Chain A
Amino acid sequence: MKGHALSLRRLTKRYGDFTAVDDVSLEVEQGQFLTLLGPSGSGKTTILMAVAGFVEPTDGHVLLDGRDITPLPPEKRDFGMVFQGYALFPHMSVADNVAFPLRVRGQSRADREAKVRAALDLVQLSAFAERLPKQLSGGQQQRVALARALVFDPNLLLLDEPLSALDKKLRAELQEELKALHRRIGRTFVNVTHDQEEALSLSDRIAILNHGKLVQFGGPGELYERPRTRFVADFLGKSNFLQGIARGPDAAGMLLETPGQGIHVRFAGPVHMPRDGGRALLSLRPEKITVLNPGETAENVVEGTVRAFAYLGAGFSLVVETAHLGEIRAVLPAWQSPVAPAEGLPVRLGWAADAAVPVEEDAA
C-alpha cells in the first residue's frame, strides 16, 4: 500500500483572540480521499496549511502513520501540494516546473528526465513540456500543478481549492480526472473546497467545518443522508426544515407534533435523538417529496398550493405553501409529475417516514 494515514489530534490555531481552528481531531486511512468542506472562514485552509507545515498550530498535533510531524518545516514533510491558482513558477518551462521538486532533492538529471516524462504522461501533457505556464490554458496549468505535486512520490497530496479557478464545465471534467488519478495511484489525498458537489463526488471522507470547528465527519452518503446538524443539512445540498415537538422517540422512530398534524419519522440509521416532549427539528430533502396523484397516499401527506415553480429541464422545482408547515420545497422529475405545475394550483405532497431526519440546531 503506497498511501499513508494522516491523523489530526486536537488541532487548534489561534491568531490573537481569533480562533481559526478549534480543537479538530480526525483520522484519514491510507489511500483515502479526504475533503475539508466549509464556507470561507471556516478554518479549512488553515487546517490544510497546518498539515503542509506553513502554519504552526497553537495546540495539537499532526501525525503521519502515527509519527508526530508537527515540528517539521514544510520542505521536510515530502507532501505534494497543489496551490490555489496553481503557483506555477512563471520563469520555468512546464518540464522545469515539474522537475523542481526533484532538483531541490538533488536528483540526477537522468532520473529527473525519466520521472518528469512519466509525470507529464500521467496528466497527458507530454507535448507541452517546453512551454511556459502562461502559454497554457487554466485546465492545463492545473494538470501541470498536479504533475509537479506528484512527481516526487509524495507521502500525501494536498489540494487547496484546486478547481475553483476553472469554469463549470471544465471543473466537472477535471473532477473526473482527479478521481480517476486518485484511483490509479492509490495515494492519500487531502482536498480543500467550498464546493459541496465537488466534495460529494470526489471524496471517500468529508470533514464539514464551520467557525473553525469540525461539525461532522464521515462518508459522503452518510453525511448527505444523515446530517447531524441544521448547518450540515443546509450546506450539503438543500433541505426543508420542519419544527415541532418530539413525541415518543425510540430506536425505531418518533412522531413530530406540529400545529396542524403529526409527522411520522422512522429512523433508518443512527441519528441525533431528540428528547421526548422537547423541541425537535426535521431535515427533509426536496427530492424525497413527491406530488401525489388523486387517491394516492403516503406515510406523510400535506396539502398546499403552488406558490412558485421553476422548470429545471430534468424536472421541476416547486415551492408549496402549506397551512401549518410553512413553505415546502420539492424537486421532482418531470416524468413523475402528475400535473403541469401552475401558480395557485392545489397539490398534495407526500413522503415516506424514513425520508426525514431529526437534526440539531447549531450552537450560535
Chain B
Amino acid sequence: MHGTHGAGPFGRGLAWITALYLVLPILIVLPVALTDQRFLSLPQDGISFQHFRTVLTSPEWLGSIWQSFTIALASTVLSVVAGTLCAIGCWRISRRATDLVRLLMLLPLIIPSIIYAIGLYRYFGPLDLLDRFLGVVIAHGVTGIPYVVITVSTALAAFDPRLEQAARGMGASLSQTLRWVILPRIMPGIVSGAIFAFIHSWDELVMVLFIASRDVFTLPRRIWDGINENLDPAMAAVAVLLIVFTLLLLLVDMALRRRAQ
C-alpha cells in the first residue's frame, strides 16, 4: 500500500540530522590525517601523507599494532571455541534448563568493564598474569564469549533440530554430528561471532589500562596515551587506519551473511 503513512517533516529532518551526527564526526578524521600541518587541523596548502608515514615507520606504533593483532587473534580463538560449544549445548538442552547459563554468558555485556578491570587487577597479581600476553588474551577471550554465543544462537534458531535427530538416528556419534551436520550449517554465525569477538579485543582499552603496563602495550593503549599527551595528526592517521580496518571486517561479515542467505 502506498501513501498510507510516512514521517512528517519534523521526523524526517531529525532523522537526517541524527544520521549526519552519527557519521560526519567520524569522517572528519580523514582530512585531518591528510593535513600538511604539524598540528591537528584541516589541510592548508595541500594534502600530505607524512603522518601515515610517521605511523607506519614507527617501531612503537608497529609493535603495538602487531601486539593488538596477535592478542585479538588468540582471544578470538578462545571466545569462538567456548562460545560456539556453549551455544550448541544451550540450543540442544531445553531452554528452561539453560536459562541460568545464558544469563551467565550475558554478564560481560551487562557489567561495565571498569568493574571487571579492577577485579582482574587484583586477581591476576597472585597468578602472575599482570602485564602478560596470556593475561590479556584470557581477559579479552572471556569477555568476547557473549558475542559468539549470541550470533551462533541466532544461527541455530534457524536450524531444524530434526536434522540433528536424524543424524543421530542414523548412527552418527555426537562428535560426528557436530562436525558433519551442525557446524557446517552454522558456520556463517560462527564467523560473524569471530569477527565481533576480534573487533571487541582489538578495540578494548579499559581492561588493558589495568592489567598491562610495559611489556604489553596494545594499540588502543597507545592511542589513549596519544590523546592524553600529544594531540598530533599522527593520531588521526592511526584513527583512519583503524576505521578502514573495521570497515573491511564488517564488509567481510556482510558478504558472508549475504552468501549464507
| Chain B residue contacts of A54, Cβ below 8 A | 1-4
Q: Determine how close the nearest CB of chain B comes to the CB of A45; give it in whole angstroms.
A: 10
Q: Per-residue 0/1 for A67-110: is the Cβ within 8 Å of any B Cβ (1 yes, 0 no)?
A: 00000011000000000000000000000000000000000000
Q: Which residues of chain B in 1-60 are interfacial with respect to chain A, using CB atoms and an 8 Å cutoff?
A: 1-4
By a CB distance below 8 angstroms, the chain A residues around B4 are 54, 74
How distant is the Cα of A103 from the Cα of B205 in the complex, in angstroms? Answer: 55
A56 within 8 A of B: yes
The reply to whether B3 and A56 form a contact with Cβ atoms under 8 Å apart is yes
Q: Does A55 sit within 8 A of B, measured CB to CB?
A: yes
Interface of A is mostly: loop
B190 to chain A, nearest CB (A): 37
Q: Which A residues lie within 8 Å of B1 (CB)?
A: 49, 54-55
- Kindly state the separation between the CA atoms of A144 and B87 in the bound complex, as whole angstroms: 45
Q: How far is the CB of A138 from chain B (nearest CB, A)?
A: 23
Q: Which residues on A sit within 8 Å (CB–CB) of B3?
A: 54-56, 73
| Chain B: interface residue total (CB-CB under 8 A) | 4
Measured CB to CB, the closest approach of chain B to A255, in angstroms, equals 52
What are the residues of chain B within 8 A of A49 when measuring CB–CB? 1
Inter-chain CA distance A361–B255, complex, in Å, is: 52
B128–chain A nearest beta-carbon distance, Å: 58
The CA-CA distance from A74 to B1 in the complex, in Å, is 12
Q: How far is the CB of B141 from chain A (nearest CB, A)?
A: 44
Give the nearest-CB partner of A15 in chain B.
B2
Q: Interface readout for A48-74 with B: 1 if CB under 8 Å, 0 if not?
A: 010000111000000000000000011
Residues in chain B near residue A56, CB distance under 8 A? 2-3
Chain B residues 137 to 173 lying within 8 A of chain A, measured CB to CB, are none
List chain B residues, Cβ under 8 A from A73. 3
Q: How close is B1's CB to chain A, nearest CB, in angstroms?
A: 5
Distance between Cα atoms of A55 and B4 in the complex (Å): 9
CB distance from A54 to the nearest CB of B (A): 5
Q: Which residue of A lies closest to B4 (CB)?
A: A54
For the complex, what is the distance from the CA of A318 to the CA of B1, rounded to whole Å? 45
Question: CA A49 – CA B3 in complex, angstroms?
Answer: 11
A74 contact set on B, CB distance < 8 A? 4
Complex: chain B residue closest to A55, CB-CB: B2
B2 — which chain A residues lie within 8 A by C-beta? 54-56
- Chain A residues 33-57 with CB under 8 Å of chain B are 49, 54-56
Q: Which residue of A lies closest to B1 (CB)?
A: A54
Separation of A80 and B161 alpha carbons in the complex (Å): 47
Chain B residue nearest to A56 (CB atoms) is B3
> How far is A74 from B2 in the complex, measured between Cα atoms in Å?
11
1/0 per residue, CB under 8 A from A, across B203-222: the answer is 00000000000000000000
Query: Which residues of chain B from 117 to 142 have any CB-CB distance to chain A below 8 Å in the complex?
Result: none
Docked Cα-Cα span, A74 to B4, in Å, equals 8
Closest CB-CB distance, A12 to chain B, in whole Å? 16
Alpha-carbon separation in the docked complex, A73 to B3 (Å): 9
**Shortest beta-carbon distance from A95 to chain B in Å:** 25
Q: How far is the CA of A286 from the CA of B20 in the complex (A)?
A: 69
Across-interface contacts of A55 in B (CB, < 8 A) = 1-3
**Closest B residue by C-beta to A73:** B3
Minimum CB–CB distance from B196 to chain A (whole Å) comes to 34
User: How many angstroms between the C-alpha atoms of A73 and B4 in the bound complex?
Assistant: 9
Q: Residue-by-residue, is B99-127 near A (CB-CB < 8 Å gives 1, otherwise 0)?
A: 00000000000000000000000000000
CA distance A56 to B4 in the complex (A): 11
A95 to B189, CA, bound (A): 46
Kindly provide the distance from the CB of A87 to the nearest chain B CB, expressed in whole angstroms. Answer: 11
Distance between Cα atoms of A335 and B221 in the complex (Å): 95
Give the docked Cα–Cα distance between A49 and B2 (Å): 10
CB distance from A71 to the nearest CB of B (A): 12
Nearest Cβ distance between residue A216 and chain B, in whole angstroms? 28
> How far does the alpha carbon of A55 sit from the alpha carbon of B3 in the complex, in Å?
7
B6 CB → nearest A CB, Å = 12
Nearest residue, chain A, Cβ from B2: A55
- The B-contacting residues of A in range 172-203, CB under 8 angstroms, are none
Question: When chains A and B are docked, how far (Å) is the Cα of A54 from the Cα of B3?
Answer: 6
Complex formed: what's the CA distance from A56 to B1 in Å? 10
Interface residues of A in 285-303 (CB under 8 A from B): none
Shortest Cβ distance from B210 into chain A, in angstroms? Answer: 47
Cα distance A337–B4 in the bound complex, in angstroms: 57
**Complex: how many Å from CA A54 to CA B5?**
10
Per the bound structure, the CA–CA distance linking A56 and B3 in Å amounts to 8
Give Cα A54 to B2, complex, Å: 6
**Alpha-carbon separation in the docked complex, A56 to B2 (Å):** 8
Which residues of B come within 8 Å of A, CB atoms?
1-4
| Residues of A that sit less than 8 Å from B by CB | 49, 54-56, 73-74
12 contacts between A and B (CB under 8 A): A49-B1, A54-B1, A54-B2, A54-B3, A54-B4, A55-B1, A55-B2, A55-B3, A56-B2, A56-B3, A73-B3, A74-B4
Given contacts A49-B1, A54-B2, A54-B3, 9 further A-B contacts (CB under 8 A): A54-B1, A54-B4, A55-B1, A55-B2, A55-B3, A56-B2, A56-B3, A73-B3, A74-B4
A-B pairs, top 6 by smallest CB distance, nearest first, are: A54-B1, A54-B4, A56-B3, A49-B1, A55-B2, A54-B3
